[in-house]
Chain A
Amino acid sequence: DIQMTQSPSTLSASVGDRVTITCRASQSISNRLAWYQQKPGKAPKLLIYKASSLESGVPSRFSGSGSGTEFTLTISSLQPDDFATYYCQQYNSYPITFGQGTRLEIK
């Protein structure tokens, strides 16, 4: 199985900050990586697919990069609505696996 490791597990930041979350795969997954945002009590929401493609309707302050084993999700200027938990996911091979999540909290 491909292990997905996110860092940090928790991130404290302020509105307007630029933040970056890292996701590392235990073996190469090409660009078959997605990022999701989840708020308490809600279903996850797709933000980024194919490592760097922005899902329709997602604000442009979200961006993704990387290939192979190292990936990043960047939020260029944090907004109040962005405080949530973020997950990466590989869909290169079965079983599909998620990172453990990064909780983004208000400083």
Chain B
Amino acid sequence: EVQLVESGGGLVQPGGSLRLSCAASGFTFSDHYMDWVRQAPGKGLEWVGRIRNKANSYTTEYAASVKGRFTISRDDSKNSLYLQMNSLKTEDTAVYYCAKSGGYQAFDYWGQGTLVTVSS
């Protein structure tokens, strides 16, 4: 059974940093692209960014709203995905989901999400 479990969310002050983790199981993690998607309270889904697999040199893509502040990384030996968030703003407040990209690059599995609140 595929499982994605996010952790690391919490309350942080504007300008602060936070690192989210996503533990994956039930599939060959190293084969797949992985994504982060967020959802502000009461709002729609916003794609945050993607990391490709080793075969594609672990390259990354980011939404303009987070580029230069957020960094996505992965550790295939630990079946884990990470999101390092720096220079956080109040508008980064959201539930953050990790998602697995399937064969056609739609997101076929999602974690349960972790809430990040940026507030003073």
Contact = CB atoms under 8 A, between A and B. Distances in A.
Interface residues of A, number: 25
Interface string A21-41: 000000000001010101000
Interface in B26-58: 35, 37, 44-47, 50
B105 A91 contact: yes
Contact of A44 (B63, B64, B110): B110
A49 interface: yes
Nearest to A50: B104
- Chain B, interface size category, equals 20 to 34
Interface in B1-49: 35, 37, 44-47
B6 to A, nearest CB: 10
A43 B106 contact: no
A95 B111 contact: no
Contacts of B97: 43-44
Given A43-B97, A49-B104, A50-B104, A96 B47 contact: yes
A43 B64 contact: no
B120 to A, nearest CB: 27
Q: Interface of chain B, helix or strand or loop or mixed?
A: strand
B64 A55 contact: no
Interface string B53-70: 000000001111000000
Nearest to A31: B104
Contacts of A94: 50, 61
Contact of A98 (B46, B62, B110): B46
Interface of A: 1, 32, 34, 36, 38, 42-46, 49-50, 53, 55, 87, 89, 91, 94-101
11 contacts: A1-B64, A32-B105, A43-B112, A46-B108, A49-B102, A50-B104, A55-B106, A87-B45, A95-B64, A96-B35, A101-B45
Given A36-B107, A44-B107, A46-B106, 16 more contacts: A32-B105, A34-B106, A36-B45, A43-B111, A43-B112, A43-B113, A49-B104, A53-B104, A89-B47, A89-B106, A89-B107, A91-B106, A95-B64, A96-B35, A98-B46, A101-B44
